Amino acid sequence: MDFLELAVNRYSERFFDTRPVEQEKLDRILEAGRVVPTACNYQPQRFYVIRSEEGLEKLKSVTAFHYNVPLMILVCYDLRTVWRNPGDRYYRNYNSGEQDASIAATTMMYEAEELGVHTIWIRGFDSKTVADTYGLPEYMIPVMMLGLGYPNEKAHANAWHYKRNPIEEFVTEL
Ligand SMILES: Cc1cc2nc3c(=O)[nH]c(=O)nc-3n(C[C@H](O)[C@H](O)[C@H](O)COP(=O)(O)O)c2cc1C
């Protein structure tokens, strides 16, 4: 499948089977998140793999959007290594952590898709609750969670997946 076809076909999965994701596939997915470009190549992205019974159970107390995933990757960035631009006049104390973590998350999402593993991008959580629940150090900033697994018999793309605005709304030639 070519990349654009993969991107069009990917949808947010919300119906997961209990079948675990194989270690070899998880390794490839994490590798995809490792090799991404980051600001100044500082590589502040950090991945917490949540798949133990205890870790997955805790998910239920940090997000309503856990969808009983068998595997979750909590994507964070490390404030100690992130690139900063204190001189940015739009964003006070700008750092590139959200961008660095998001490019890693996005790349992992598409690698998973390529391997036949479905995903859901989750941001519906309180960062402090996540940090406290999983005992993250204070310099570790949660950005998103990527739920991964195989689809169950109810799996389908919801209506939002088919609602995309026309290209003219996104593109302006200057
Ligand atoms: C930044 C971001 C945050 C999201 N947070 C959630 C979430 O917390 N819960 C959820 O069910 N879906 C979440 N989604 C999935 C979006 O709702 C979904 O990508 C969008 O509706 C388009 O549907 P599709 O991914 O099936 O094409 C999130 C997606 C993004 C990119």
Domains of the chain: 14-151 (3.40.109.10)
Name residues contacting ligand 1 (CB within 6 A): 11-12, 65, 120-124, 157, 160-161
The answer to whether the CB of 94 falls within 8 A of the CB of 86 is yes
The residue type at 93: N
Mean pLDDT taken over the chain: 98
The answer on pLDDT for 1 being more than 90 is: no
Rounded Cα distance, 135 and 96, in Å: 23
To the nearest whole percent, how much of the chain has pLDDT over 70?
100
- Whether the model clears a pTM of 0.95, i.e. scores above it, the answer is yes
pLDDT digits (tens, 9 = 90+) for 76-113: 999 999 999 989 999 999 999 999 999 999 999 999 99
Residue among 75, 106, 107, 123 to mutate when testing ligand 1 (max atoms within 8 A of CB): 123
pLDDT digits (tens, 9 = 90+) for 30-51: 999 999 999 999 999 999 999 9
The answer to whether the CB of 19 falls within 8 A of the CB of 165 is no
Residue among 12, 74, 125, 163 to mutate when testing ligand 1 (max atoms within 8 A of CB): 12
